[in-house]
Chain A
């Protein structure tokens, strides 16, 4: 498996097929005299920001903190919880086991109140 090609930036869905985002970052565990292994995938705009520029990642973290959306974010998902990797990555978890949809939930509280919200 090519981590950069097959994992990074790939769509992630939970075990019920709900969209969880994309792999915005990865955690690699490297021990002496052993090949490195993929320990976790990371989902969240702060992790994406980190990849583009550390200052951008920091800015997103501050923004999330200001709106109280920084709990367990960016979401780090153990590689053991990955079920399969194909054109998308399917997890053994459900979306509610993580904090990836904190922004969606916050916005839903507003959007859901508007007349005509289906």
Chain B
């Protein structure tokens, strides 16, 4: 039975992918500006993330190595240093943005300026990591994360027509703002498929002591988990499309985005939106900080793991504490979470081919995955993601300037 609870690893990972500060804003913006027409981009991001997570989990379950460890061993430090450095920079930027997201959510609930909440939020995140174990973190965030289903309920109660929804899954060239449309597409994929999620997921599989016998759980966890996050992101996009679209609102603040809940939840709209945003961002913040410890510990060969005694994993503890401290410091200086998200999305897209390419090799190397190598579908998908990633990497900077 406990094995089935492992599904929460997928839910928690998907919250970091689909229901955090960057993804909520991009889904809301996409819906408000382009109606249902970018639903396909969320679907593509789901396919990418679920497939990559399944592979990261399979690699961990069979080889007992996380992604970072496998990449260092198979490709050496000269290759790994590039994705590793990029991941640490992206982790810090995203963590800054997530802390800001939680602080903005609390501001919406209390009316007290968001800067005042950065330090307390950082401290609570650190306490969760210091005192919690992996089960507490994944089950806690997974359970609290259910509040984000309010996006799905809202979309459901607004009664979109089947034709509108199905039409959104067919990529079409819009009649207006083509650059902005392309920018939103890249943003949705870039905000969702963060490299840290893959390492977090594979590290989680090791923390949960998955073995080859758990590969079916891994498959279920990856697809069910990402399905959960994807449904929430689509709920957000559809709600924004129906409520904010006709009002021609261009979402530039989270307060504007919260208005999408008003027709459904009335006076509870802001509270529910803030809770969804706050819990999603807090879950992502804890995951990102933890992943910074994971990725450094695994790459450099330290003893690591949130289930181990803290005094036996001092460097791992120091690593997640320092990254958290750095993010709190950057966030406290004063910044715009949306702008920080924009930079990290661009970096994520630029680095995506270098994150995905090692999978193509590792998932076909019997020394790592034994007889569970990828088939033609898995390899075809990886090749597609690599090529699409490289194409997006080439256009992301001009798009950021023109479309953002």
Among A20, A48, A117, the residue within 8 A (CB) of B77 is: A48
Query: Whose C-beta in chain B lies nearest to the C-beta of A115?
Result: B130
Known: A11-B301, A12-B301, A19-B302. A112 touches B77 (CB 8 A): no
Which residues of B295-320 have CB atoms within 8 Å of chain A's CB atoms? 299-303, 309-312, 314-315, 317-318
> Which chain A positions have C-beta within 8 A of B309?
117-118
Are A118 and B300 in contact, with the CB atoms below 8 A? no
Query: Whose C-beta in chain B lies nearest to the C-beta of A53?
Result: B81
Are B300 and A107 in contact, with the CB atoms below 8 A? no
For the complex, is A68 an interface residue (Cβ under 8 Å from B)?
no
Are B69 and A11 in contact, with the CB atoms below 8 A? yes
Are B76 and A9 in contact, with the CB atoms below 8 A? yes
Query: Whose C-beta in chain B lies nearest to the C-beta of A21?
Result: B301
Are B318 and A111 in contact, with the CB atoms below 8 A? yes
Query: Whose C-beta in chain A lies nearest to the C-beta of B133?
Result: A118
For the complex, is B131 an interface residue (Cβ under 8 Å from A)?
yes
For the complex, is B78 an interface residue (Cβ under 8 Å from A)?
yes
Question: Given the complex of chains A and B, what is the CA–CA distance between A107 and B297 in angstroms?
Answer: 14
Known: A11-B69, A116-B130, A118-B309. A103 touches B76 (CB 8 A): no
> Which chain A positions have C-beta within 8 A of B77?
9, 24, 48, 51-52
Chain B interface residue bracket vs A: 20 to 34
Question: Given the complex of chains A and B, what is the CA–CA distance between A100 and B383 in angstroms?
Answer: 40
> Which chain A positions have C-beta within 8 A of B315?
103-104, 107
Query: Whose C-beta in chain B lies nearest to the C-beta of A11?
Result: B301
Are B301 and A111 in contact, with the CB atoms below 8 A? no
Are B311 and A117 in contact, with the CB atoms below 8 A? yes
A-B contact count (CB 8 A): 66
Q: Which of B63, B69, B311 has the most CB of A within 10 A?
A: B311
How close is A39's CB to chain B, nearest CB, in angstroms?
Answer: 20
For the complex, is A4 an interface residue (Cβ under 8 Å from B)?
yes
Are A104 and B314 in contact, with the CB atoms below 8 A? yes
For the complex, is B372 an interface residue (Cβ under 8 Å from A)?
no
Query: Whose C-beta in chain A lies nearest to the C-beta of B81?
Result: A52
> Which chain A positions have C-beta within 8 A of B367?
87
> Which chain B positions have C-beta within 8 A of A108?
311-312, 314
For the complex, is B73 an interface residue (Cβ under 8 Å from A)?
yes
For the complex, is B72 an interface residue (Cβ under 8 Å from A)?
yes
How close is B375's CB to chain A, nearest CB, in angstroms?
Answer: 24
Question: Given the complex of chains A and B, what is the CA–CA distance between A63 and B152 in angstroms?
Answer: 52
For the complex, is A18 an interface residue (Cβ under 8 Å from B)?
yes
Are A118 and B311 in contact, with the CB atoms below 8 A? yes
Are A10 and B73 in contact, with the CB atoms below 8 A? yes
Are B130 and A8 in contact, with the CB atoms below 8 A? no
Q: Fill in one digit per residue for A24-51: 1 if any B CB lies within 8 Å of its CB, else 0.
A: 1000000000000000000101001001
> Which chain B positions have C-beta within 8 A of A12?
301
Given contacts A21-B301, A24-B77, A51-B78, 6 further A-B contacts (CB under 8 A): A19-B303, A21-B300, A103-B315, A104-B315, A107-B315, A116-B310
Query: Whose C-beta in chain B lies nearest to the C-beta of A45?
Result: B300
> Which chain A positions have C-beta within 8 A of B318?
107, 111
Query: Whose C-beta in chain B lies nearest to the C-beta of A106?
Result: B314
How close is B277's CB to chain A, nearest CB, in angstroms?
Answer: 29
Query: Whose C-beta in chain B lies nearest to the C-beta of A112?
Result: B311
Among B63, B300, B302, B317, the residue within 8 A (CB) of A111 is: B317
Known: A11-B301, A51-B78, A52-B77. A111 touches B314 (CB 8 A): yes
Known: A9-B72, A9-B76. A117 touches B310 (CB 8 A): yes
For the complex, is A73 an interface residue (Cβ under 8 Å from B)?
no
Query: Whose C-beta in chain B lies nearest to the C-beta of A12?
Result: B301
Are B310 and A111 in contact, with the CB atoms below 8 A? yes
Question: Given the complex of chains A and B, what is the CA–CA distance between A10 and B299 in angstroms?
Answer: 10
Are A18 and B311 in contact, with the CB atoms below 8 A? no
How close is A114's CB to chain B, nearest CB, in angstroms?
Answer: 8
Question: What are 18 A-B contacts defined by CB distance under 8 Å?
Answer: A12-B301, A21-B300, A21-B302, A22-B300, A45-B300, A48-B77, A48-B300, A52-B81, A87-B63, A104-B302, A104-B303, A107-B317, A107-B318, A111-B310, A111-B314, A111-B317, A111-B318, A118-B311
> Which chain A positions have C-beta within 8 A of B130?
114, 116
> Which chain A positions have C-beta within 8 A of B310?
111, 114, 116-118
Are A22 and B311 in contact, with the CB atoms below 8 A? no
Which residues of B142-192 have CB atoms within 8 Å of chain A's CB atoms? none
Q: Fill in one digit per residue for B356-368: 1 if any A CB lies within 8 Å of its CB, else 0.
A: 0000000000010
Question: Given the complex of chains A and B, what is the CA–CA distance between A8 and B312 in angstroms?
Answer: 25
> Which chain B positions have C-beta within 8 A of A19?
301-303
